[in-house]
Structure formats: C-alpha cells, structure tokens
Structure 1
Amino acid sequence: MAQTVLITGGTGTIGRRLTELLLQDGYQVSYLSRTLKPIANVTVYQWDVPKGQLNPQAIQTADHIIHLAGAGIADERWTDARKNEILKSRTQSTELLAQALVKNTHSVKSFIASSAIGYYGGDTADRPLTETSPAGNDFLAQVTRAWERSEDLVAALGIRTVKLRTGVVLTMAGGALPKLAQPVRLGAGAPIGSGQQYISWIHLDDLCRLYIEAIKNESWQGVYNAVAPTPVTNETLTRAIAKTLGRPMLLPNIPGFVIKLMFGELAVTVLGGNYVLNKRIAEETNFRYSFGDLDRALEEELQE
C-alpha cells in the first residue's frame, strides 16, 4: 500500500512541484490547508493555525509529514506586524503539528521540516558556513532559530526529524529568479550593490528531491544545508542569467542605498550574502544533484 505524505504549505511554489514528484514516485499526498479547495490527486484537510485547530484525520492517515508552511520572507516590507506574522506563521504551525502528534494515534515515521540559511544571519560575507556554524543575531536568524526550536518539539516525541536549511531556490515558478531575470530580458540587468555578496542557491527540483530522499533514507537526521555545491556572487549570477538569455550587461551596479530606500530592512535579503556549504549532504549521503551546475540550472528554467 502506498505511503501517505502530509504536506503543509503544499500550494506554494515548492509544495506544488514536490507534490508532482511524490505522485510520480508512487506516494499518496495529502495537504493541511486553510481552505478546503479541491486539488487533483490530493486529499485536503483543513487547519486554522491562529485558532489552534487541525483536522485530526490529517495526522491519523499520514506516514510522513513535510512541513513547508510559513509567510513569505520577501513578499512584503518588514513592518512590525509583518515580522510578527513571519515568525508566528512558522512557530505556531509547528507547535500545532507537535500537539496533534501527541493527541492522536498515528504512524508518522518522519518529519521533514523546512528551515533557511537565514539561520546564520542575513549577511555573513564570504565566510564558509556549514551545519555546525553558529547562528546569527539579526531578524532572519532569530526567526530561523525559533522555527528550528519549534521543530525540536516533534523530534522530542521520538519521530525522526530532518531540517533542510534552504538557500535561494531557482525556479521561474516563483521566488527570486523571475525578479532577477525580468530586468535582464529588458536589457536593464545589473548587479545589486557591490555584486560581490554570495548567493547560496539550489534548483527547485533538487530541493524537492532532497525532501523525498529525506523521507526514504532513515539515516537522515538533524540539520542539512539544502544548497547546491557552489555558491556564486550576485554579479556572477546576474551575468549567467544574461548569458543564458543572450542579453548584454551594460548598466552599472544598482547602488545599495537605492535598494534600501525601496525595501527598507528587507534589503538585507538582496544586499547581504552567505557562503553556505552543503557539507553533510556531500560527505554523509549519496545524493546526486541534477542541477549542481549554475549554467545548467539556468538553462533548465530560462530557455524557452
């Protein structure tokens, strides 16, 4: 009998592609969602995180849980209210899952949880970071530390827990790549700020395959940096996009102060950088990237 994977945040960019790959792999998929809107080939259960409500059938029928839910980091300016929403959407949803696992009879074997390389801080320059590097102190780091602490509540129940600290996900289905590619297409592409800030990236399909591998392989446990093998600078990424699209790079760098004026505190997400290494994946697993090379990843997404 096919195993069932319960996904939170399943209608997001990562969740949609992950669902496709899980179904192709023979898994059954169910969602926890705020609304009971029908989705093809997926059983949808309702939850209301602020009210602490969750349909217990979602937990009772699951063999594995993939927890992706959380308000988008870069979707809006960081007002105090938005910052609170970013934090609470992650911690409260995880706490609700942990409570449901305590209250209900279930056969959940693994809990594969989203995290972020923001754990190390929004800007750590070119210092190499591995899974054992210390946490940062800024807003992103504080959110991610609290997020991972809430995930520890599930691990404390004896359920195998994997945390994937995710880098910049490359896909034209959402996130950073469409925003980076659009000005390049229009002939207005330019590095941002110094252009020397590092971007630790991963192709969407490789990220989804990491989630599936974490379900299948019972030796996976704890934190893994979900990034491709080679971080690149903002300038290298921008030039690679231009090369893939066959567009020139004529403009000077966009000054950092302009980005700060436009985005406020959120500017750290593009002006800051992290040189994050996939040490545990490289050294402890047999995982093979389909798109470990930046040019190949961009060709997959940008060539029409």
Structure 2
Amino acid sequence: MTEEASKKYLVVGGSGFIGRHVCQKLTEQGAEVYILSRSKENALKKLNPFWRNALSQCHWVNQLDPSMCFDGVINLSGKSLADGLWTKSLKNEIYQSRIGISQMLNHYFENCDFKPKILINASGISIYGKYKKNGEEEIISDRLENHFSQNLCVDWEQEALKAEKYGIRVCLLRLGVVIGDGGYLKRLKWPLKCGLNIQLGEDHHTFQWIHMDDVVGSIMLMLKIESMKGPVNMVAPEVINLKDLSLIYRYHFKTKINFRLSDHVVRFLFGAMGRELLLTNYVVQPNKLCENKYNFKCLEFKRNFS
C-alpha cells in the first residue's frame, strides 16, 4: 500500500499527453482519480474504458462544486504552443487555456469546503527567455518585450501561485521537451523514417528534454515530499545541442537526406514560434529534483531509441 492509496486527486487535462500517464500512475498507487478535460468528446476517444469512468460529469473547471474535496490538484491543461503559427487568435486560445483555467481553479480554491494540500501546475523553461546559463529555480516576475512564450509562463506561474494564500503548497513544473509515446517524437518520426533529417537552427542551440517516465516520477516525488514547492526545472541533467541531436537521429534512423536550416530560415518559416521555441540556448539543471534525491530513469537522449 503506497502513501497515495485512498487519496483523491483532480487532474485537469487528464486526457492529454502527460495527463494520461499521471492518471495511470496514481491509479496504480491506489489513489482515486478525477479527470477534467477541455473536450469531453475528445477525452472519451483517448481514454480507455476504465478511464472513462473517472472522467468528470461536469464539463469544465468553472462547474466544480465547492463541496467536492481533493487531496491534491494537478493542472496539466493548455493548448500546445506548436499547433501552428502564432496568430493573434491562436495566442489568445493558448493564453486562455492556461491562465484562464488557473483563474477558475483559484475561484474554486477560494470557495471549496476543503482546501487541497497541493497544487502542481505545468509551466515551461520558456520562462527563462532567450538565454539561461544557470540552474537557479527562482520566481520570475520580469516580462521580456516581444517574447510571447516567456510572458505566458510568467503570467501562468503568478496566477498559480495565488493558491498559496489559501494554504495550498504550489509546485511549478518548468518543463523541457517531453519525450514519450506522442508529442515531440511523434511529430518527428514520420519524416525520419522516410529518411529525411532536418536540423532546425545552428549547431550550438541547446535542446533540453525530459522523458515521460521522469515527468511522472517527479510529480509523484512532489506529492510525497512536503518541503518541495515553487519552480522545479523538469529537464534531464544532460544538455545536448542541435548538432548532437541531428547525429543521433542520423545514426538511429539511417537517414539519407540530412541538412540544416539556418537561424534566418527558421525565423522566416516559423516566425516568433520558431525564434522562441527552436532557437534557444537554455542551460538549466534539475537542481531541486537532484537535491531531493530523485533518481532519473532516462539520463541520455539516445537511450530513447535503444
């Protein structure tokens, strides 16, 4: 019997890429899981019959009844930043799918009869802006000019941290690129399997990643260790550059066509999205996870293909 047995958790975005794995792990540990999803119809398609029983009968966060009690809330909601070029309307959708939902959660926290002990809220290493050369996991309130993804993360974290005034411990997941059975790798595998390996940006740009198993394992650690709070860098200790990344793809997929697009071309093709998400030089480390003795399951990116 684990510490999570008999506990009750609300997972917002529980039918998504990360959410499904988190719900699976919590259930394996004996917890009662309650799922909210932006689209109930899409959630029913993604969830197996067992998980459909856990899908909330209320449609969204603003319909949560104050009498509903949870030991913890895990907020993984949010429209993907890589769903298309950042038009004004798409930016608004992305913003509301994060900050708007956190505002609804805070309204629920204010009025609920029993306050959760913990809120685990997604964020991203985009909060560090264009460059980050140390691993300090501090609260960031400064907003960079003309940097949508950084401003988004700042606003999201600040909204999530408001839950602290209700006595709720808040952990912020500053996620790198999550590697698993979907997401980033799913987008790449088709061209790679067809022999096409395109490096988007100059060799020196960094690629900070974390395996899905370590995302889930880190969340379980946060639920367990009550001293963990605030920002947590959710990245593997290994930092690789785009050149090494391209070589890994070339070796594993035996690609025949290998070439690189310059920074200028990436900016031209993808606009602000390319500049902010692809042409980065982050060097952040998972200090809090290491300080709390987290044992990473995947330490080398190339192991994802072994």
TM-score (norm 1): 0.88
Query: Helix, strand or coil: the match of 1:276?
Result: coil
Is 1:18 aligned to 2:28, yes or no? no
Q: Write out the 4+ residue segments of structure 1 that deviate beyond 4 Å after TM superposition.
A: 35-39, 133-136
- Letter of the 1:127 counterpart: K
**Other-structure match for 1:54:** 63
CA contact (8 A) 2:218 2:289 kept: no
**Other-structure match for 1:153:** 162
Equivalent position to 2:237, from 224, 229, 233: 229
**Unaligned regions of 5+ residues in structure 1, if any?**
300-304
Q: Distance in 2 between matches of 1:221 and 1:133?
A: 11
Q: Distance in 1 between matches of 2:214 and 2:36?
A: 24
- Letter of the 1:79 counterpart: T
> In the superposition, relative to structure 1, how do residues 156 and 298 fare at CA in structure 2: closer, same or farther (>3 Å)?
farther
Is 1:140 aligned to 2:149, yes or no? yes
Q: Distance in 1 between matches of 2:298 and 2:252?
A: 15
Q: Distance in 1 between matches of 2:252 and 2:243?
A: 14
The aligned length equals 290
Q: Distance in 2 between matches of 1:3 and 1:69?
A: 21
Q: Distance in 2 between matches of 1:181 and 1:43?
A: 31
Q: Distance in 2 between matches of 1:100 and 1:20?
A: 25
> In the superposition, relative to structure 1, how do residues 146 and 235 fare at CA in structure 2: closer, same or farther (>3 Å)?
same
Task: State the percentage of identical aligned residues.
Answer: 26
Query: Helix, strand or coil: the match of 1:89?
Result: helix
1:154-209: CA deviations, max 9, x gaps? 112111111110001112312x2223333322222132221321011000111011
> In the superposition, relative to structure 1, how do residues 242 and 20 fare at CA in structure 2: closer, same or farther (>3 Å)?
farther
Equivalent position to 1:293, from 285, 300, 304: 300
Q: How do 1:137-286 and structure 2 match up within 5 A? A: 137=144, 138-174=147-183, 176-245=184-253, 247-248=254-255, 250-268=257-275, 269-282=277-290, 284-286=291-293
**C-alpha RMSD over aligned residues:** 2.1
Q: How do 1:23-38 and structure 2 match up within 5 A? A: 23-36=27-40
- Letter of the 2:234 counterpart: A
Q: CA deviation at 1:291?
A: 0.7
**Other-structure match for 2:13:** 9
Q: CA deviation at 1:249?
A: 6.1
CA contact (8 A) 2:197 2:259 kept: no
Q: Distance in 2 between matches of 1:14 and 1:155?
A: 24
Query: Helix, strand or coil: the match of 2:91?
Result: helix
- Letter of the 1:106 counterpart: F
Equivalent position to 1:130, from 119, 127, 136: 136
Q: CA deviation at 1:130?
A: 2.6
TM-score (norm 2): 0.87
Q: CA deviation at 1:215?
A: 1.0
Equivalent position to 1:110, from 118, 141, 154: 118
Q: Distance in 1 between matches of 2:37 and 2:284?
A: 32
- Letter of the 1:21 counterpart: K
**Unaligned regions of 5+ residues in structure 2, if any?**
none
CA contact (8 A) 2:40 2:59 kept: no
Query: Helix, strand or coil: the match of 2:281?
Result: coil
Q: Distance in 2 between matches of 1:266 and 1:35?
A: 25
